Amino acid sequence: MPNSWKASLNQLLNRLAAEPAKSARVAIVGIGNNLRCDDGAGMLIAGALSQHGFATNTNRILIVEAGQAPENATADLRKFAPGLVLLIDAAEMGQQPGAARWIHMDQIDGMSASTHSLPLSMLAHYLTLELNCTVALLGIQPGSNEVGDTISPEVLEAVHRVVDGIDESLTRYLSDPKAEATGD
C-alpha cells in the first residue's frame, strides 16, 4: 500500500482539526545530513515544503530544517506549541531505496535512523511529554549514507512524492472550515 503514510497523516490531521486553536498547529521537522547522500532526504523535504504556499501560514504551520541535531529545534517547537510534530528522516527499514513509511514510535528504538547524536525515540518521548503533542515519524529508506552530496535517483523521487503528498494533505487541512475556526 504505497500511500499508507499519507492515509496516516490525513487521519492525524483530521483528529487535529477538531482540537482547540493552539493544538491545531503542525510542525514539520526535516532531519538529516545533506553531506551524506540519501541521509539528507528529510532536510530536502523540509526545504521544499518551506517554499510551498501553506508555509506562509505561520500561525498554523512551522517548518524546521533541523539537520543532524533535531534536539536543537526544541526551543522553536516549544514556542510554537504544535499539536502535531512530524519528524521526517532517512531510516534503515530493510526496504527498497526510496520507500517512504510511517514508523510508529514504539518501533523507533530498534531502528537505525539517521546520523544524528540523540536517538529519535528520546526526542519523540521528550516532545510528547514537554509539549503534550502527537509526534509522528515518516522514514525514507536510504540507498547510501556514504559521504557525498549526490542523492540517489530513488530517494530523490521519494522526496518529490512525499513533498507532493504533504502539500496536498496540509493544503486540504488548512482549507477545512473546522480547522479554520482556530484563530489565536
CATH number reported for the structural domain that contains residue 103 in this entry: 3.40.50.1450
163 domain residue, yes or no: yes
100 domain residue, yes or no: yes
69 domain residue, yes or no: yes
Please compute the mean of the pLDDT values over residues 125-154 and round it to a whole number.
90
40 domain residue, yes or no: yes
**More confident call, 132 vs 107:** 132
Range of the domain at 52: 4-8+34-174
pTM: 0.88
pLDDT tens digits, residue range 106-118? 776 544 444 556 7
144 domain residue, yes or no: yes
17 domain residue, yes or no: no
Look at the chain and report how many structural domains it folds into: 1
Please compute the mean of the pLDDT values over residues 84-100 and round it to a whole number.
94
> How far is C-alpha 15 from the chain's CA centre?
17
Which residue pairs, CB below 8 angstroms and at least 24 apart, start in 52-57? 52/163, 52/167, 52/170, 53/171, 54/167, 54/170, 54/171, 54/174, 57/174
Q: Half-sphere exposure (CA, 13 Å, Cβ side) for 45?
A: 34
Model confidence band, residue 120 (pLDDT cutoffs 50, 70, 90) = confident
Decide if pLDDT at 147 tops 90.
Answer: no
